[in-house]
Amino acid sequence: MQLYNKLSAKERAELIEKAGKDRLTLSFYQYAKIGNPQEFRDQLFIVWDKLDVLGRIYVATEGINGQLSLPADRFNEFKAHLDTRDFLKDIRLNIAVEQDNMSFLKLKVKVRNKIVADGLNDETFDVTNKGIHVGADAFNELIEDEKTVLVDMRNHYESEIGHFKNAVTPDVDTFRESLDIIEDDLKDHKEDKNLVMYCTGGIRCEKASAYFKHKGFKNVYQLEGGIIEYTRQINEKNLENKFIGKNFVFDERRAEKISDDVIANCHQCGTPFDVHTNCANDACHLLFIQCDACKAEMNNCCSTNCKDIHALPFEEQKALRKGQGNSNDIFKKGRADHLPYKKDLRNIFETFKVDKK
């Protein structure tokens, strides 16, 4: 019985190309009590592998978080399988704004301690006491209220290429970091301000809203379905789009264009640009923003040192990497010191404190 992916990304890409079928990229999550995550994981893999599902799915005792793609003509079969589980029946599936048949090239279903690395002790507060969910129309009205503080619950490299107008964008590398920062900077406004949060698909806000209510915030709201569902609703209902730029996504597409605005810059030359790439030097693999001109000049590398290493024969590169872990820069997500136009660090609530009385 096959319980793990056995094909390389290259082999899978060739099969997708040969099949000639359109694929759907989608995401979903659900908090629920799962007694045996490993058994549930194996059951999912067996069924989804047969449906040609590809993607990254995390299963834990607290629920499931999935980002995946599958042949469009097998969507109904996939949905029918989800409906066989009570806690997944009629679950909202966030269909990607922009489709790409190569968004995922492997099926990875992993058992984790949590479906989102939030660093919280769930035993210390009621995780079911969540904030008020709002759709796109109510969200648009709410964020125009002078009593509202709109907070982006994503990381700095996500908000750098796109965010809602007037949103506070925490300069953090992880979701957990933002929680204490937000609480501290808004500690004097727990009762007189509306705390409105959003993220990519909604999952980070689910836990964050309960956490902030536990911390004493009285008026807590979250964007239902995140940026993905918001985009679907504004297009369907012909609403004003208050999101500028791109929505960062964690697959081969890297991002979905929500508006035509380009709000980021190439980290190497500073020209307006908003496409992330990974450094071609396998010993680095830094995620950063690189324009086409710099990509050509630097051979898709983040520094001259990486460019020189990448130009070496493969065996020499491999020898240099032997016994060494990944560079620490891989975790900086565009903040490496050698990038002259990396995103500036700043006090994320400085504007709020000046403009909001």
Strand partners, 206: none
Burial 270-291 (b: 16+ CB within 10 A, else e): eeebbbbbbbbbbbbebbbbbb
User: Coil, strand or helix: which one is 17?
Assistant: helix
Strand partners of residue 257: 246
Q: Which secondary structure element, helix H or strand E, spans residue 267, and what is its range? A: none
Name the helix (H) or strand (E) containing 137: helix 136-142
Which residues are identified as catalytic?
A: 199
Pairing of strands 63-71, 23-31: antiparallel
CA dist 221 → 40, 82, 88, 202, 218 (Å): 32, 28, 24, 11, 10
Q: How far apart are CA 187 and CA 252, in angstroms?
A: 39
Report d(CA 57, CA 181) in Å as an integer.
Answer: 29
Residue 357, C-beta contacts closer than 8 angstroms, at least 6 positions apart: none
Distance from C-alpha of 298 to C-alpha of 316, rounded to nearest angstrom:
20
Collect all residues with Cβ–Cβ distance below 8 Å to 143 and sequence separation of at least 6. 150, 164, 165, 166, 196, 242
Q: 78 with 51: CB under 8 angstroms?
A: yes
